[in-house]
Amino acid sequence: MRRLAVHLILLLAVLAVPVRAAHTAVQLILSATTARPGDTVLAGIQMKMESGWHTYWKNPGDSGQATEIKWQLPPGVTAGDIQWPLPEKLPPAEVTTYGYENEVVLLVPLKLATNLPAGPLNLAAKVSWLECKEVCIPANQDVEAKLNVGTETKTSADLGKIEVGIGKVPIVLTNPPIKAWWEKPRALDVRPLVIDFSILPVSFKTNLVDFFPDASDQFEIQAPSEEFPIGLASRAEEIGMRKLVKKFSGDWPKEVSGVFLYYMENGPVAMEVNLPIADQAPAGEIISSISNQSPVLPSQPLWQMLLYAFIGGLILNIMPCVLPVIALKILGFVSEAKSEPRHVRKLGLIYALGVLISFLVLAALVISVKAAGHHAGWGMQFGSPVFIVCLTTLVTLVALNLFGIFEVTLGGRALDTAGELASKHGAAGAFFNGVLATVLATPCTAPFLGAALGFAFAQSAAVIVLIFLTVGLGLASPYILLSWNPAWLKFLPKPGAWMEQFKIAMGFPMLATVVWLYSVAGSSYGKNIFWLGVFLIVVAFAAWIFGEFFQRGRQCRGGALAVTLILLIGGYAFALEKELAWRTAQPEPNPTASLKESADGIDWQPWSAAAVAQARAAGKVVFVDFTADWCLTCQVNKKTSIEISAVREKIKSLDAVALLGDYTHFPDSITAELNRYNRAGVPLVLVYPKNPAAAALVLPEVLTPGIVLDALDRAVK
């Protein structure tokens, strides 16, 4: 369906744009000027693109259109298939396409009949292609060349160009030393395919190997690759790759074809392969390698996972992510203590409704991501820099509202029925607090919650929705109980003037949340994060003018509103759009050289399956911390139980290898690793024992120094 849409768009483009060849020069060149009857002459369609422009391979990928050649040949001359040179993966990274930049020669063998008479032949073709830079333009051009038929073969001046083109065409292997098999079934027409290249005579890591698939209307092999350890102890660096196959129609493919390539110091080596797909791993293949032995995870009944989900949601109420919102709810209960019991119950249910609807949205997001063939994780929205900027701005406004700088009202009749947001405690405030509590809870995990969500992410859409709603019910349950038992409210302080001071005091935890979110955004925007700070200052200044001179002022209210709008629009256009480029900036990966936080800190190395395999093959204890900048639980674990002197000394004394898996921007390889351990998100801390045959020790979400030290002691026994 997606390919049909792409073709329709390209057809409309062809009809709408004048056909021209402004950015690509096309020429027909031949390997010979004279050939004998019965010879085969190589014709080359030489395409030279202007700087920054590109054309496409036979499988253009997620977008684009393959170059087409329509020959007009004299009788007795037949054209073979195009021999395509090895393409490149073209930017942007979010949309994988395969094509050519600068120059390419598409080779086509022309077979001359044995009974051709001597004399000149006019060879002609119409070449059609799509050339792209910031925009894509369909173009075509007629090309022609002369070939003489004679008694001897004479090479042409363009033979060197033809030979260079031949050197770039992948070699064809009829029996390639590569295997492929289905790893396991996958719901929603997406299934993981394993490509095993461990039997190649030379070892390669996944980042030096790739597979460019041929196009198909029945299925699509998605571009991203994951490491798949094959598990030969003698060559621990040998790994395969896992790719996701999305089926559009028909049965699952029995074979796949394309170009398998690996990169050497002097360039890539490419092979045209046709790989039969086995239903399972070949007999004798060691799938669970010494680096990635799958943990023994018992099959848990649904009722137990639902219980875990409820308890995990309940514990979220005391996690640092949600504490600012809890304070607001306590203030709300105090304010409503003298209200009608029915009114109090109503507000409790509305708060719960805000929580449950928010969890339904999260469940729908997870289901959509899985349906698209991607990995989903708990808190995955925090991997989006755009989301972080929006949330930072929202929480800043909430903090300013609590400080009394401005009020958020709905006005008119809506004010009488819904009340005000955040600082007031009507229906709108209750619902808003429920949504905010859910959003702020997603970067946190809690005991029982990780197991429940990990179970959910591997299940059907109905089970995902059920477990997410159960987590939401656990998060909202304390407030439902309080609102339906008004007698319990007598234990709360009586309403009074202190409430206004308490509300202002609660603005400071919200402000601390802003600081934390600002630091999280820094991992994506680097030094440019300064401009987000400028924008937040402009927002605060605009909020003060709005509250002081528009809401509470009596004169020049229109001017105050105009200044507020000018500040907000100007601050957004200059600070966010121009300087920060907040919607287009790409996350900056953490450099491997800076993983060690201090001179006496743990000597962290970047995590990969190959790094684990290599360390375990050497008989080392391996300590792995999967973490993220936005995960508060991870940061608390690090400060209290990991980056402490006792653990540092223990790791050093054991000569253990410490690996850090940075999940800040949701790399697929780490998501897959979390899923293998039935975890939907971070933190996940693993300790691999010294014995390569032993399974990893999985530590709980919330750590203590004793838990970490005990696991390290057990790893050497």
pLDDT in tens, 182-207: 877 655 678 888 888 766 655 555 56
Please state which of the ranges 43-57, 678-692, 697-711 shows the lowest mean pLDDT.
Answer: 678-692
Please state which of the ranges 18-22, 134-138, 267-271, 711-715 shows the lowest mean pLDDT.
Answer: 18-22
With 60 as the cut, is the pLDDT of residue 16 above it?
A: no
Range 664-688 average pLDDT: 81
Instruction: Please give the pLDDT value at position 293.
Output: 44
Q: What is the dihedral of CA 159, 162, 167, 170, to 10 degrees?
A: -150
Span 339-348, pLDDT tens digits: 566 777 777 7
DSSP one-letter string for 564-577: HHHHHHHHIIIIII
Residue with tokens 């449950």: 356
DSSP character at residue 373 = T
Please state which of the ranges 36-40, 402-406, 485-489, 656-660 shows the lowest mean pLDDT.
Answer: 485-489
Per-residue pLDDT band for 250 (boundaries 50, 70, 90) equals: confident
β-bridge pairing 171-172 and 604-606? unpaired
Is the pTM here over 0.85, yes or no?
no
As given in the structure block, the two tokens for residue 130 are 């799509």
With 90 as the cut, is the pLDDT of residue 296 above it?
A: no
CA angle, 217 as apex, 211 and 218 as ends, to 5°? Answer: 85
Instruction: Please give the pLDDT value at position 380.
Output: 67
Span 206-242, pLDDT tens digits: 567 888 999 888 888 887 777 776 654 334 445 678 8
As given in the structure block, the two tokens for residue 630 are 């936005």
Instruction: Please give the pLDDT value at position 499.
Output: 63
Instruction: Please give the pLDDT value at position 230.
Output: 64
CATH number of 592-715: 3.40.30.10
Q: What percent of the chain has pLDDT over 70?
A: 75
With 70 as the cut, is the pLDDT of residue 336 above it?
A: no
In the chain, residues under CATH classification 2.60.40.1250 are 2-156
Q: How far is CA 49 from each of CA 127, 138, 378, rounded to the nearest angstrom?
A: 14, 14, 44
Question: What is the rounded average pLDDT for all residues in the chain?
Answer: 78
As given in the structure block, the two tokens for residue 578 are 């121009």
In the chain, residues under CATH classification 3.40.30.10 are 592-715
Phi first, then psi: what are they for 156, rounded to 5°? -100, 170
Range 698-708 average pLDDT: 89
Range 471-483 average pLDDT: 82
Per-residue pLDDT band for 298 (boundaries 50, 70, 90) equals: very low
Per-residue pLDDT band for 57 (boundaries 50, 70, 90) equals: very high
Range 502-515 average pLDDT: 81
Orientation of helix 498-525 relative to helix 323-335, angle to 10°: 160
HEC profile of 248-279: CCCCCCCEEEEEEEEEECCEEEEEEEEEEEEC
Instruction: Please give the pLDDT value at position 329.
Output: 59
Give the closest residue to 438 by CA, choosing from 377, 391, 508.
Answer: 391
Give 107's strand partners: 44, 83
Per-residue pLDDT band for 632 (boundaries 50, 70, 90) equals: confident
Per-residue pLDDT band for 106 (boundaries 50, 70, 90) equals: very high
Fold entry, domain 2-156: Immunoglobulin-like (2.60.40)
| CATH 2.60.40 assigned to 179-278 | yes
Residue 696 and residue 687 in contact, taking contact as beta carbons nearer than 8 Å: yes
Per-residue pLDDT band for 288 (boundaries 50, 70, 90) equals: very low
Q: What is the dihedral of CA 333, 337, 341, 347, to 10 degrees?
A: -20
Q: How far apart are CA 593 and CA 196, in angstroms?
A: 31
Residue 472 and residue 356 in contact, taking contact as beta carbons nearer than 8 Å: yes
Residue with tokens 């008694």: 151
Q: How far apart are CA 426 and CA 424, in angstroms?
A: 6
Q: How far apart are CA 116 and CA 113, in angstroms?
A: 6
